[in-house]
Amino acid sequence: MNRLEALHQAGVSIWLDTLSRELLDSGEFARLIADYAVTGATSNPTIFAKAITGSDRYDDQLRAAVDAGLRAPQELFFQLALDDVRGAADRLRPAYDQSGGRDGFVSFECTPDLADDTKATIEQALELWERLARPNVMIKVPATEAGVPAIEELTAGGVNVNVTLLFSVARYEQVIDAYIRGLERRLAAGEPLDSIASVASFFVSRVDAKVDPLLPGDSGLRGRVAIANARLAYARYLDRFSEHPCLADDRWLALREAGARPQRPLWASTGTKSSAYSDVLYVEKLIAPDAVNTMPDATLRAFADHGEVEPALPVAGAAHATLRRASVAGIDLEAVTSELERDGVRSFCDSYRELLSCIRAKVQTLPVGDLAPAHRAAS
């Protein structure tokens, strides 16, 4: 058994935190599924900006769309990226079927310019869901104040939601409540619950990147605050979605009996940003049943080479103690996570604007009208 298969056997779903036409067309994505125990994929505006602007593999499709009269950069982006998501979903469909709909998902994000607009987020998410038309896709919605009611509405409407840009346990509580309310509305309306899947994506390394410079050098806390924060989030997951009737929330028990699935915790931003830490730190320290870890390609391959699988089930008491020490050292974690949420939205917005700008530039340079026969016929 290789290291990644051992990680999978420990209960962790391994998702790839990148997606591109090259990855799909070259067969590399299929190889990662076959040989690296990959059972899912995630994307975001930054990932697609790099994929589309850094490759000529999209040029023929882009030419065909423009030749057919399409000009809006956002719609051109959707046409290109949604094809990639559908392709990835089709390759992951066996994992979805074999897991009974628990795994095998690929995520696509609502455009970040809508992060503070509940109504527009809902409308776009529903459109994307319909266009993707695959049971094993998820629509990513940021865990902003405006995103929380959108999560409820989309869940009630039957959309699989990947809640992204989660940093604080307090916000996570709101997200869980939104998911449960959405499921309750489906149940009251007589709609099935067993087709709904959701993950809550807790960003990890960005917390340490923000906190470490604020800590005294002799605190012994550098590289530990993010893990403690994530472990507390996992403890809340266990509390809210317990399988034991004597421990579980009554509302959740009623939903589970009706076929609902728990909203699984997902560890995002798990590539190590500091060279002082192991390149697999945020994989090894967050091994727990039912968790998902979406890894950049470099982290995936690093773990395949030298990662160790020693189940590190979160101990809430130790995590609380770490965060108390951080508080004594002057860390206001609530303020840090609020800032990270704003920074995350701003960063994705910057990438999205850059992406649209690059698509405009590509359109101006492509020899429109000189299409390959296959693309002309398709258009």
In the block, residue with structure tokens 């009996």: 257
First CA to last CA distance, the chain = 47
Tokens of 306: 């030298």
* Radius of gyration of the CA atoms of the chain, in A: 21
For the record, the structure tokens of 170 come out as 């307090």
In whole angstroms, what separates CA 132 from the centre of its chain? 17
Q: Which of 221, 197, 183, 236 is nearest to 101 (CA)?
A: 197
Q: Are 371 and 63 in contact (CB under 8 A)?
A: yes
Task: Give the residue from 324, 194, 326 showing the smallest Cα distance to 259.
Answer: 194
Q: Residues 302-306: contacts with CB within 8 Å, 24+ apart?
A: 303/3, 303/4, 303/7, 304/2, 304/3, 304/4, 304/36, 305/3, 306/3, 306/280
What is the SS3 string spanning 159-224?
Answer: CCEEEEEECCHHHHHHHHHHHHHHHHHHHHCCCCCCCCCEEEEEECHHHHHHHHHHCCCCCCCCCC
How far apart (Å, rounded) are the C-alpha atoms in residues 68 and 36? 40
Which amino acid makes up residue 12? V
Residue numbers annotated as active site:
140
Question: What are the b/e assignments for 146-155, b being 16+ CB within 10 Å?
Answer: bbbbbbbbbb
Q: Say which DSSP state 53 is in.
A: H
Closest CA to 351 of 115, 118, 84, 16: 115
Instruction: Provide the H-helix boundaries in the chain.
Output: 3-9, 21-25, 28-35, 45-53, 59-67, 73-98, 118-132, 147-156, 169-188, 205-211, 225-240, 250-257, 281-284, 297-306, 316-328, 333-365, 373-378
